[in-house]
Structure 1
C-alpha cells in the first residue's frame, strides 16, 4: 500500500501486507507528534495499538524502515540502522532522502496518509 509521510518534506513510502501494517492503514490519515529518539529514529504513538498477532517477536530495522515498537506503542521511522531488538517489527519502507528526519530537537507534527 503506497503512503505519503509529510512533516516539512514529503516522503513516499509503502506499507507491507502484514497484520500490524493493516492496523495502521485502518487508522489513516493521521497527524502525529513525532520526536527523535537516540539519534537513529523518530517516533510517535498512534491513537490505537497495532497488533502483534502473526508478527515476529523482534526484528532489525535498516535505515528507511517504517516500524512498530510494541513495548512503547510507537510508530517508528528509522533513519539509521538499528540491530535486532525484541518488540521491533517492520511494517513498511520509505523511499528517498531520509536526512529530513535527522537532527530534530523538538516534537514535530507528521502526517501519514494513503497516496491516492
Structure 2
C-alpha cells in the first residue's frame, strides 16, 4: 500500500504546484490587463500613466481639439461647374476619409437614389455605429463594398452597414438631374 500511495501523493503534489503556478500566471495577466486598460484610458484622456500616478498631469487638448475641429469641418465636392458643401460628422470613419483628401473620384448612379464610388483605400469602421437609415442629402460610407454614397433621394430600406459621414449643407439639387457617371473633386473647405 505504501508503494501505491507514494505515486498518488507525488502526482497530487505536482498537480497542485502546476495549478498554483497557472493561477498565479492568470492573476498576473488580469492585473496586467487592468493596468493596460487604465493606461489606455488615461492616454485617451491625454494623460500618461506616469502623470496620472504622480499628480503632475498637464492639460492635453488632443482629444478636445479633435472634437472641436470636427464641429465645423466642411468638404466641397466640385463637378460640372457646380459645388456641393458637406458638413462632416465627428466619427472615426469621417476622420479617416478626411485624411485621404484631396481626392478625385468617379460617381456612378445606383438604383436611381444615390451616387456611389468605390474608394481605393477602405475607411476605418472601428468604434463606429452603423445601420443608419439614409435620407436625401446624406454623405455616407457603405463598408461591405468600401464605397462612398451620396443620397440624392430618400432610401426606403435601411442597411446595417451604412455609416453616415456627413450631410449636404448646400447644393443637394445639383445631383437631381445628373444622368450617368460624373467625376468629382473632393477637398476640405477652409
Q: TM-score, normalised by structure 2?
A: 0.58
The aligned length equals 116
Higher percent of residues as helix? 2
- Segments of structure 2 that go 5 or more residues without pairing to the other structure are 1-72
Over residues 39-97 of structure 1, what are the superposed CA-to-partner deviations in whole Å (9 max), with x where a residue is unaligned? Answer: 10001022211111111241111111100001111011111112421111111011234
Give the distance between the partners of 1:102 and 1:31, measured in 2 at CA. Answer: 20
Q: TM-score, normalised by structure 1?
A: 0.92
The root-mean-square deviation of aligned C-alpha atoms, in Å, is: 1.3
Residues 85 and 171, structure 2, Cα contact 8 Å, conserved in 1:
no
Runs of 4+ deviating beyond 3 Å: none
Residues 83 and 171, structure 2, Cα contact 8 Å, conserved in 1:
no
Higher relative contact order (CA 8 A, sep 6+): 1
Which entry has the higher C-alpha Rg, 1 or 2? 2
Higher percent of residues as strand? 1
